[in-house]
Each structure stands twice: as C-alpha cells, then as structure tokens.
Amino acid sequence: MSAFLGHIHYWLYHKIGRVVEREQLIFQKAEEMCGATAEELQSQVWQIYGQPLPDTELGELIDHTNIHGWLQRQITIAETREAAFIKELVDTCGGAAQDIVLSAYAEHGKLCGEHAKAQGKYDGQRAAGIYQAVNDYVLNGMPCDQGDVVTVNEDDKVLWEGETCLQERNWTKAGVDKAFMKECYQKWFAGFVKALNPIFAYSQAADTLKGSPVNRHQIVKEA
C-alpha cells in the first residue's frame, strides 16, 4: 500500500464507486423493461469507455505514480459512461427509459441517504449536517474543482450556489440531454435528503428554475 494514499483518495474512490452502483441500478431496471436490448446497449457503451472498476482495494488499482491523474480519469470515465448508457437507453426506448432512469436516481439517492444515516456520524437534525453528508456522497469533481459556495447556513436551511455544473463536461462528451441529467440529479438529492431525515427536503431555488445561469440549491426543514 502506497504511503501517499490518504483519506481524500479513499473518499473520492468511494464516490466513484457510487456512480458505478447507480449505473448498475439503471441497467437492472432497464433489463427488466427491455431485456436483451439493455445488454446490447451496455455492451456498446463498455466497448467505448471500458467496464466499471472492479470492487477491490484501491491500492491494487490506482496508479501510484500519478494518483491525482488516475482519480481524475476515473471520475471522467464513470460519469461519461453512465451518461452514455442513459443516452443510448433513452434514444432507443424513449419516455419509458426516462422514467426508469429517474426512478433509479431517486432510489439510489434514498439508499445512499439511508447508508449515511446508519453511519451515525452526520448531524441529521441540522441542515448543515445533511449538506455535509450530501457532499461526502455525491461525486462532484476533484476537491480542487469545487465551485459551490454556501450562501445561507442555518439550522433549518442551507442554500448553496455555483455557476458551473461539473458533470456537464462529461454529459457533453456523452451527448446526453443536459436538462434531463439535471432532473436526474435533483431526484437523487431529494431521495438522499428525505432518507437521512424526512423532515427536511431538497429543492432548487426559485431563481434557478426561472433560468438563472447560477445553479442554486437548498435543503430546508419543512414546516
């Protein structure tokens, strides 16, 4: 095991793994809907982007001579491969495929929220604690890429914003509809927050929904 592998590397590796989990959940739901077609589409995408990383120890996989570069590449591959599979699925199966993708995102968010709650290390009674958990689970680039800024940080509400969506560059590579992918992520966030504490809810702030170039998100305690 390399002496250079630290907490931040495992933190990122686990977040990459959750994208792979979600991709597999989408595939399972797609296979139930369209059988061999889902397998064919997955095979096509894997031929381009490679198969997901095996579930094994990070030290056995990572390039110890270029840790940062290896992690960045795996983020790009995982997000682009998932988006490419979603694009192929929706292009082939239409609205029914959109429904199962949205369902998979919501379900995966819920599963991750339940996992976070079971860890017992997040203050799920405060919006700030839930926001911390979200950031520990969602893959949002490398730590040096972070562009989100918290503008409200209260016990009952956290609001954060950013001018860029870091996943968009990989969605562009895959050619998937960006508006649909943002809707998928909203489903994931909503499922995560409700699972961690059902008295809180995630939503996009109103000005974002009106077309503001700045993405604004909030976690709010419901009355």
pLDDT in tens, 129-184: 999 999 999 998 776 666 688 999 999 999 998 867 889 999 999 999 999 999 99
Helix (H, G, I), strand (E, B) or coil at 161: strand
Residues 6+ apart with CB under 8 A from 86: 26, 97, 101, 174, 176, 180, 181, 184
Task: Note the pLDDT tens digit of each residue in 16-47.
Answer: 999 999 999 999 999 999 889 999 999 999 99
Residue with structure tokens 């959940």? 25
Contact criterion met (CB below 8 Å) for 81 and 22: no
Tell me the two tokens of residue 88.
Answer: 């192929």
User: How many C-beta atoms surround the C-beta of residue 5 within 10 A?
Assistant: 16
Contact criterion met (CB below 8 Å) for 214 and 208: yes
Output the CA–CA distances (angstroms, integers) from residue 166 to 13, 37, 124, 185, in the order listed.
Answer: 17, 30, 26, 12
pTM: 0.92
Task: Note the pLDDT tens digit of each residue in 194-218.
Answer: 999 999 999 986 565 455 667 889 9
Closest CA to 182 of 77, 93, 102, 110: 102
Residue type, 153: N
Query: What mean pLDDT do residues 186-197 have?
Result: 98
